[in-house]
Amino acid sequence: MFTERVQSRTGQREATRQRVVGAAATLFREHGFSATTIRQIAEKAGVSVGTVMAAGDKDSLLVSTFDEGIAAVHSGRGASAEAGSRLTAEQAARRIEALVLPFLELFEADLDLARHYGSVLFRGGHDAAAMNGLASALKAEFTAVLEQAGLSADDAAQAAETIHFAYLGVLFSWAGGAFGPESAPAKIRAAALSVAESGR
């Protein structure tokens, strides 16, 4: 009986947190991150300001919004590299580009929010669970593709790490306005091609 009550409260708490994150996500998209207040989020979610603050400050709510989007993209796809024929460096680079494309599209959907998200992560202090999990998962996917392109397991893992850093560099440069969103996939593909060719 006691366990059921605790589980029920935990479930209610999580449902409330999801409602708060959903309200925040809607308001961030409609009004922008800076213009949205905690009070507006509370009103939209139908909870108190204290309940919103228990779910997190604005930065935490933004991170949760993106984390959920990132997790949904990642969980929505199966195994990335089909076993079988060996890949050329060009084919491997195109596969790696395809792996990151859904995340680029997620960030491109609202570049202003993506910039705020990047800024929050850069400052630190907020755990981006999905982003951290994504980093490990992406590196594993990159490694599998690079092994299929003929790199040894160790070389593929090191190359995957390098490509992941290049991917992050492209994201931050793009968010900073160094180039337009249409250039990002090609830059990641070029970095992957360079690494794949040098690792052979």
Between 74 and 49, the more confident residue is 49
Residues 13 and 80 in one domain: no
What contacts 193, CB < 8 A, 6 or more positions away? 89, 90, 92, 93
pTM, to two decimals: 0.76
Residues 18 and 66 in one domain: no
Residues 70 and 152 in one domain: yes
Number of residues written out for the chain: 200
Residues 187 and 127 in one domain: yes
Residues 96 and 44 in one domain: no
CA distance to 1, 7, 14, 29, 103, per residue, from 4 (Å): 5, 5, 15, 37, 39
**Domain tally, the chain:** 2
Handedness of CA 132, 188, 200, 146 (dihedral sign): positive
What are the tens digits of pLDDT across the range 1-41? Answer: 545 554 577 888 889 999 999 999 999 999 999 999 999 99
At 20, which CATH number? 1.10.10
Residues 178 and 97 in one domain: yes
Largest CA distance in the chain: 62
What are the tens digits of pLDDT across the range 118-155? Answer: 788 777 666 666 566 778 888 999 999 999 999 999 99
Structural domain span for residue 121: 57-198
Residues 70 and 96 in one domain: yes
Residues 135 and 44 in one domain: no
Residues 24 and 103 in one domain: no
